[in-house]
Amino acid sequence: MNLEAQARMLANRVKKTFRKLQPRMEQRRIGAFRLYDRDIPEIRAVLDWYEGHLVMAEYAREQTAKLPWLEAMARAVAQELEVPWERVHLKERRTGEKYQRLARKGSRLEVREGDLRFLVNLDDYLDTGLFADHRETRARVRAEARGKDFLNLFAYTGSFTCAAALGGARTTTTVDASQNYLDWAGDNLRLNGAQGFELVRAEVEAFLQKARGRRWTLCVLDPPSFSDHGGNLFEVQRDHRALVEKTLAVLEPGGVLWFSTNHQRFTAQLDGLRFTEEQTVPEDYRNRTAHRAFRIIR
Ligand SMILES: C[S@@+](CC[C@H](N)C(=O)[O-])C[C@H]1O[C@@H](n2cnc3c(N)ncnc32)[C@H](O)[C@@H]1O
Protein backbone atom coordinates (compact mmCIF):
# COMPACT_ATOMS: atom_id res chain seq x y z
CA MET A 1 0.00 0.00 0.00
CA ASN A 2 1.40 3.41 -0.89
CA LEU A 3 1.64 6.33 1.48
CA GLU A 4 -1.42 8.08 0.17
CA ALA A 5 -3.61 4.97 0.35
CA GLN A 6 -2.44 4.30 3.90
CA ALA A 7 -3.14 7.87 4.93
CA ARG A 8 -6.65 7.74 3.46
CA MET A 9 -7.39 4.44 5.15
CA LEU A 10 -6.21 5.75 8.50
CA ALA A 11 -8.12 9.01 8.21
CA ASN A 12 -11.36 7.15 7.39
CA ARG A 13 -10.95 4.78 10.26
CA VAL A 14 -10.15 7.57 12.73
CA LYS A 15 -13.10 9.63 11.61
CA LYS A 16 -15.47 6.72 12.24
CA THR A 17 -14.00 6.15 15.69
CA PHE A 18 -14.17 9.84 16.53
CA ARG A 19 -17.85 10.07 15.57
CA LYS A 20 -18.67 7.11 17.77
CA LEU A 21 -16.47 7.96 20.75
CA GLN A 22 -16.47 11.73 21.04
CA PRO A 23 -20.14 12.19 22.06
CA ARG A 24 -19.82 9.41 24.64
CA MET A 25 -16.66 10.96 26.08
CA GLU A 26 -18.10 14.47 26.03
CA GLN A 27 -21.12 13.26 27.96
CA ARG A 28 -18.75 12.13 30.72
CA ARG A 29 -16.66 15.31 30.31
CA ILE A 30 -13.59 13.32 29.28
CA GLY A 31 -11.16 15.42 27.27
CA ALA A 32 -8.37 12.87 26.61
CA PHE A 33 -8.94 9.56 24.89
CA ARG A 34 -7.45 7.19 22.31
CA LEU A 35 -8.57 7.39 18.71
CA TYR A 36 -6.30 4.84 17.07
CA ASP A 37 -4.37 2.00 18.71
CA ARG A 38 -2.29 0.22 16.05
CA ASP A 39 -5.53 -1.23 14.62
CA ILE A 40 -4.13 -1.72 11.09
CA PRO A 41 -0.89 -3.79 10.99
CA GLU A 42 0.85 -1.57 8.39
CA ILE A 43 0.01 1.56 10.36
CA ARG A 44 2.05 1.14 13.51
CA ALA A 45 1.06 4.23 15.41
CA VAL A 46 -1.16 5.44 18.20
CA LEU A 47 -3.28 8.56 18.13
CA ASP A 48 -4.75 10.40 21.10
CA TRP A 49 -7.22 13.25 21.39
CA TYR A 50 -6.47 15.93 24.00
CA GLU A 51 -9.16 18.63 24.12
CA GLY A 52 -9.04 19.39 20.41
CA HIS A 53 -5.36 18.53 19.95
CA LEU A 54 -3.99 15.39 18.31
CA VAL A 55 -0.91 13.54 19.56
CA MET A 56 0.35 10.93 17.16
CA ALA A 57 3.24 8.59 17.91
CA GLU A 58 4.87 6.25 15.46
CA TYR A 59 6.71 3.14 16.55
CA ALA A 60 9.92 3.71 14.61
CA ARG A 61 10.87 1.07 12.06
CA GLU A 62 13.09 0.74 9.01
CA GLN A 63 10.32 0.72 6.38
CA THR A 64 9.35 4.29 7.16
CA ALA A 65 12.70 5.67 8.34
CA LYS A 66 13.36 7.58 5.11
CA LEU A 67 9.78 8.67 4.46
CA PRO A 68 7.79 11.59 5.83
CA TRP A 69 5.45 8.82 6.93
CA LEU A 70 4.23 10.14 10.25
CA GLU A 71 3.58 13.61 8.89
CA ALA A 72 1.63 12.21 5.93
CA MET A 73 -0.56 10.11 8.25
CA ALA A 74 -1.12 12.99 10.68
CA ARG A 75 -1.96 15.50 7.95
CA ALA A 76 -4.65 13.22 6.55
CA VAL A 77 -6.20 12.67 9.97
CA ALA A 78 -6.03 16.36 10.93
CA GLN A 79 -7.78 17.32 7.71
CA GLU A 80 -10.52 14.74 8.21
CA LEU A 81 -11.18 15.86 11.81
CA GLU A 82 -10.69 19.54 10.94
CA VAL A 83 -7.92 20.00 13.49
CA PRO A 84 -5.55 22.89 12.61
CA TRP A 85 -1.96 21.78 12.02
CA GLU A 86 -0.69 23.85 15.02
CA ARG A 87 -2.69 21.50 17.21
CA VAL A 88 -1.00 18.36 15.91
CA HIS A 89 1.91 16.94 17.95
CA LEU A 90 4.15 14.21 16.49
CA LYS A 91 6.39 11.73 18.32
CA GLU A 92 8.68 8.91 17.31
CA ARG A 93 8.89 6.09 19.79
CA ARG A 94 11.85 3.75 19.93
CA THR A 95 12.11 0.83 22.30
CA GLY A 96 14.09 1.67 25.39
CA GLU A 97 13.57 5.41 25.02
CA LYS A 98 11.57 7.12 27.72
CA TYR A 99 11.10 10.28 29.70
CA GLN A 100 13.83 12.32 28.05
CA ARG A 101 13.06 15.86 27.06
CA LEU A 102 12.26 16.51 23.38
CA ALA A 103 11.74 20.27 23.52
CA ARG A 104 11.25 23.13 25.93
CA LYS A 105 8.12 24.84 24.71
CA GLY A 106 6.65 24.57 28.19
CA SER A 107 3.10 25.17 27.03
CA ARG A 108 0.53 23.39 29.09
CA LEU A 109 -3.02 22.45 28.34
CA GLU A 110 -5.76 21.67 30.84
CA VAL A 111 -7.54 18.38 30.26
CA ARG A 112 -10.82 17.22 31.82
CA GLU A 113 -11.55 13.82 33.27
CA GLY A 114 -15.02 14.18 34.77
CA ASP A 115 -14.55 16.77 37.53
CA LEU A 116 -10.79 16.14 37.63
CA ARG A 117 -8.40 18.46 35.79
CA PHE A 118 -4.89 17.61 34.62
CA LEU A 119 -2.14 19.71 33.07
CA VAL A 120 -0.50 18.11 30.06
CA ASN A 121 2.45 19.14 27.90
CA LEU A 122 2.01 17.78 24.39
CA ASP A 123 5.42 18.79 22.97
CA ASP A 124 8.29 18.53 25.41
CA TYR A 125 8.38 14.80 26.27
CA LEU A 126 7.44 11.47 24.74
CA ASP A 127 4.70 11.17 27.36
CA THR A 128 2.27 14.00 27.94
CA GLY A 129 1.90 13.97 31.73
CA LEU A 130 -1.33 11.99 31.65
CA PHE A 131 -1.86 8.28 31.01
CA ALA A 132 -5.43 8.16 29.73
CA ASP A 133 -5.44 4.34 29.88
CA HIS A 134 -5.56 4.69 33.70
CA ARG A 135 -8.84 6.66 33.65
CA GLU A 136 -10.85 3.74 35.09
CA THR A 137 -8.09 2.81 37.56
CA ARG A 138 -8.20 6.38 38.88
CA ALA A 139 -11.98 6.08 39.22
CA ARG A 140 -11.60 2.83 41.19
CA VAL A 141 -8.99 4.36 43.51
CA ARG A 142 -11.12 7.45 44.01
CA ALA A 143 -14.16 5.31 44.84
CA GLU A 144 -12.38 3.72 47.78
CA ALA A 145 -10.34 6.69 48.99
CA ARG A 146 -12.69 8.23 51.56
CA GLY A 147 -10.97 8.59 54.94
CA LYS A 148 -7.86 6.77 53.73
CA ASP A 149 -4.19 7.61 54.10
CA PHE A 150 -3.11 7.39 50.48
CA LEU A 151 0.38 6.63 49.18
CA ASN A 152 1.31 7.10 45.49
CA LEU A 153 4.63 5.47 44.48
CA PHE A 154 6.28 6.34 41.12
CA ALA A 155 3.69 9.07 41.10
CA TYR A 156 4.80 10.92 37.91
CA THR A 157 2.45 13.95 37.63
CA GLY A 158 0.29 12.82 40.54
CA SER A 159 -2.91 11.99 38.67
CA PHE A 160 -3.75 9.13 41.06
CA THR A 161 -3.19 11.47 44.01
CA CYS A 162 -5.63 13.98 42.53
CA ALA A 163 -8.23 11.20 42.19
CA ALA A 164 -7.67 10.03 45.78
CA ALA A 165 -7.82 13.61 47.10
CA LEU A 166 -11.15 14.28 45.36
CA GLY A 167 -12.38 10.92 46.65
CA GLY A 168 -11.94 12.20 50.19
CA ALA A 169 -8.59 10.72 51.26
CA ARG A 170 -7.65 11.90 54.77
CA THR A 171 -3.98 12.37 53.80
CA THR A 172 -1.95 11.87 50.63
CA THR A 173 1.75 11.13 50.12
CA THR A 174 3.16 11.39 46.59
CA VAL A 175 6.59 9.90 45.88
CA ASP A 176 8.75 10.30 42.77
CA ALA A 177 12.49 10.57 42.10
CA SER A 178 12.05 13.52 39.74
CA GLN A 179 11.64 17.05 41.12
CA ASN A 180 10.26 18.17 37.78
CA TYR A 181 7.40 15.64 37.90
CA LEU A 182 6.84 16.30 41.59
CA ASP A 183 6.41 20.03 40.89
CA TRP A 184 3.98 19.12 38.14
CA ALA A 185 2.09 16.86 40.58
CA GLY A 186 1.85 19.83 42.96
CA ASP A 187 0.39 21.99 40.19
CA ASN A 188 -2.15 19.25 39.37
CA LEU A 189 -3.13 18.92 43.03
CA ARG A 190 -3.63 22.67 43.43
CA LEU A 191 -5.61 22.76 40.20
CA ASN A 192 -8.00 20.23 41.75
CA GLY A 193 -8.31 22.18 44.99
CA ALA A 194 -6.40 19.60 47.07
CA GLN A 195 -4.85 20.83 50.31
CA GLY A 196 -2.27 19.58 52.78
CA PHE A 197 -0.67 17.10 50.41
CA GLU A 198 2.83 15.71 51.00
CA LEU A 199 5.24 15.55 48.04
CA VAL A 200 8.38 13.46 48.57
CA ARG A 201 11.34 13.43 46.24
CA ALA A 202 12.87 9.98 46.73
CA GLU A 203 13.85 6.74 45.09
CA VAL A 204 10.97 4.40 45.93
CA GLU A 205 12.95 1.55 47.53
CA ALA A 206 14.89 4.01 49.68
CA PHE A 207 11.61 5.70 50.66
CA LEU A 208 10.05 2.38 51.69
CA GLN A 209 13.08 1.46 53.74
CA LYS A 210 13.01 4.75 55.62
CA ALA A 211 9.21 4.75 56.02
CA ARG A 212 9.27 1.92 58.56
CA GLY A 213 6.87 2.78 61.31
CA ARG A 214 4.62 4.90 59.10
CA ARG A 215 1.48 3.20 57.80
CA TRP A 216 -0.92 3.92 54.91
CA THR A 217 -4.32 2.36 54.14
CA LEU A 218 -4.53 2.79 50.34
CA CYS A 219 -1.65 2.75 47.87
CA VAL A 220 -0.94 2.89 44.14
CA LEU A 221 2.28 1.27 42.95
CA ASP A 222 2.72 1.87 39.22
CA PRO A 223 6.42 1.45 38.41
CA PRO A 224 8.00 1.82 34.97
CA SER A 225 8.98 -1.47 33.27
CA PHE A 226 12.64 -0.55 33.69
CA SER A 227 14.39 2.09 35.73
CA ASP A 228 17.91 2.82 36.88
CA HIS A 229 17.60 5.64 39.38
CA GLY A 230 20.74 6.28 41.42
CA GLY A 231 22.40 3.08 40.20
CA ASN A 232 19.39 1.14 41.50
CA LEU A 233 18.37 -1.11 38.58
CA PHE A 234 14.72 -2.09 38.55
CA GLU A 235 12.98 -4.49 36.15
CA VAL A 236 9.30 -4.97 36.82
CA GLN A 237 9.16 -8.61 35.69
CA ARG A 238 12.11 -9.64 37.83
CA ASP A 239 11.55 -7.37 40.81
CA HIS A 240 7.81 -6.81 41.24
CA ARG A 241 7.23 -9.50 43.87
CA ALA A 242 9.86 -8.08 46.21
CA LEU A 243 8.65 -4.52 45.62
CA VAL A 244 5.02 -5.49 46.28
CA GLU A 245 6.05 -7.14 49.54
CA LYS A 246 8.05 -4.10 50.65
CA THR A 247 5.05 -1.90 49.85
CA LEU A 248 2.60 -4.16 51.72
CA ALA A 249 4.89 -3.81 54.73
CA VAL A 250 4.00 -0.08 55.02
CA LEU A 251 0.23 -0.74 54.80
CA GLU A 252 -2.10 -1.32 57.74
CA PRO A 253 -3.63 -4.81 57.88
CA GLY A 254 -6.66 -4.68 55.53
CA GLY A 255 -4.98 -1.88 53.56
CA VAL A 256 -5.37 -1.97 49.77
CA LEU A 257 -2.54 -1.88 47.23
CA TRP A 258 -3.24 -1.21 43.57
CA PHE A 259 -0.25 -2.57 41.68
CA SER A 260 -0.07 -1.87 37.98
CA THR A 261 2.31 -2.34 35.07
CA ASN A 262 2.25 -1.62 31.36
CA HIS A 263 4.94 -4.23 30.60
CA GLN A 264 3.57 -6.06 27.56
CA ARG A 265 4.78 -9.56 28.42
CA PHE A 266 4.16 -9.44 32.15
CA THR A 267 3.56 -12.57 34.23
CA ALA A 268 2.41 -11.84 37.76
CA GLN A 269 4.16 -13.60 40.61
CA LEU A 270 1.75 -12.85 43.42
CA ASP A 271 1.01 -16.39 44.70
CA GLY A 272 0.02 -16.56 48.34
CA LEU A 273 -1.14 -12.91 48.40
CA ARG A 274 -4.82 -11.87 48.64
CA PHE A 275 -5.24 -10.37 45.19
CA THR A 276 -7.57 -10.04 42.21
CA GLU A 277 -6.67 -8.86 38.72
CA GLU A 278 -9.04 -6.03 37.76
CA GLN A 279 -10.20 -5.02 34.28
CA THR A 280 -9.41 -1.31 34.16
CA VAL A 281 -8.41 -0.71 30.52
CA PRO A 282 -11.02 1.66 29.04
CA GLU A 283 -13.09 0.96 25.91
CA ASP A 284 -11.09 3.33 23.69
CA TYR A 285 -7.96 1.16 24.01
CA ARG A 286 -7.96 -1.71 21.54
CA ASN A 287 -4.89 -3.13 23.31
CA ARG A 288 -6.62 -4.85 26.21
CA THR A 289 -3.32 -5.10 28.08
CA ALA A 290 -2.39 -1.40 27.74
CA HIS A 291 -1.78 -1.99 31.42
CA ARG A 292 -2.56 -4.74 33.94
CA ALA A 293 -3.92 -3.86 37.37
CA PHE A 294 -3.94 -5.98 40.53
CA ARG A 295 -5.82 -5.14 43.72
CA ILE A 296 -3.96 -6.66 46.66
CA ILE A 297 -5.16 -6.62 50.26
CA ARG A 298 -2.67 -6.72 53.10
C1 LIG B 1 5.54 4.79 34.57
S2 LIG B 1 5.63 6.41 35.27
C3 LIG B 1 4.48 6.23 36.52
C4 LIG B 1 3.07 6.54 36.00
C5 LIG B 1 2.11 7.13 37.03
N6 LIG B 1 1.87 6.20 38.11
C7 LIG B 1 0.78 7.60 36.41
O8 LIG B 1 -0.17 6.85 36.35
O9 LIG B 1 0.73 8.73 35.91
C10 LIG B 1 7.26 6.50 35.86
C11 LIG B 1 7.59 7.52 36.96
O12 LIG B 1 8.44 6.85 37.87
C13 LIG B 1 9.50 7.70 38.29
N14 LIG B 1 10.59 6.81 38.69
C15 LIG B 1 11.26 5.91 37.94
N16 LIG B 1 12.10 5.18 38.69
C17 LIG B 1 11.95 5.60 39.97
C18 LIG B 1 12.48 5.20 41.21
N19 LIG B 1 13.36 4.20 41.29
N20 LIG B 1 12.09 5.83 42.34
C21 LIG B 1 11.17 6.83 42.27
N22 LIG B 1 10.60 7.25 41.11
C23 LIG B 1 10.97 6.64 39.98
C24 LIG B 1 9.78 8.60 37.11
O25 LIG B 1 10.37 9.81 37.55
C26 LIG B 1 8.37 8.77 36.53
O27 LIG B 1 7.76 9.91 37.05
Q: Is residue 267 assigned to a domain? A: yes
Residues 167, 48 share a domain = no
Residues 79, 137 share a domain = no
Mutate to test the pocket of ligand 1, among 160, 188, 227, 246 (most ligand atoms within 8 A of CB): 227
Residues 54, 171 share a domain = no
CA of 38 to the centre of ligand 1 (A): 25
pLDDT digits 0-9 by tens, 111-141: 999 999 999 999 999 999 999 999 999 999 9
Which CATH number covers residue 45? 3.30.750.80
Distance CA 141, CA 139 (A): 6
Lowest average pLDDT, out of 13-17, 63-67, 208-212, 291-295, goes to 63-67
Residues 277, 145 share a domain = yes
- Domain end, chosen from 42, 70, 93, is at 93
pLDDT digits 0-9 by tens, 222-274: 999 999 887 889 999 999 999 999 999 999 999 999 999 999 999 999 999 99
Mutate to test the pocket of ligand 1, among 142, 176, 266, 291 (most ligand atoms within 8 A of CB): 176
pLDDT digits 0-9 by tens, 168-219: 999 999 999 999 999 999 999 999 999 999 999 999 999 999 997 999 999 9
**pTM score of the predicted model:** 0.95
CB 224 within 8 A of CB 98: yes
Number of folded domains that form the chain: 2
Please tell me the total number of residues recorded for the chain in this structure.
298
Q: Which domain does 140 fall in, by range?
A: 132-297
Q: Mean pLDDT, the chain, as a whole number?
A: 95
Ligand 1 pocket at CB < 6 A: 131, 134, 154-157, 159-160, 176-178, 181, 203-204, 222, 224, 227, 229, 232, 234
Which CATH number covers residue 216? 3.40.50.150
Distance CA 168, CA 174 (A): 16
Q: Is residue 258 assigned to a domain? A: yes
- Domain end, chosen from 64, 93, 122, is at 93
Residues 224, 167 share a domain = yes
Q: Is residue 10 assigned to a domain? A: yes
Give the ligand 1 atom nearest the CA of 181. Answer: 27
* DSSP H or E run through 184: helix 179-191
CA of 2 to the centre of ligand 1 (A): 40
CA of 254 to the centre of ligand 1 (A): 25
Q: Give me the numbers of helices (H) and strands (E) for the chain, helices first please.
A: 7, 15
- Domain end, chosen from 72, 93, 114, is at 93
Residues 292, 209 share a domain = yes
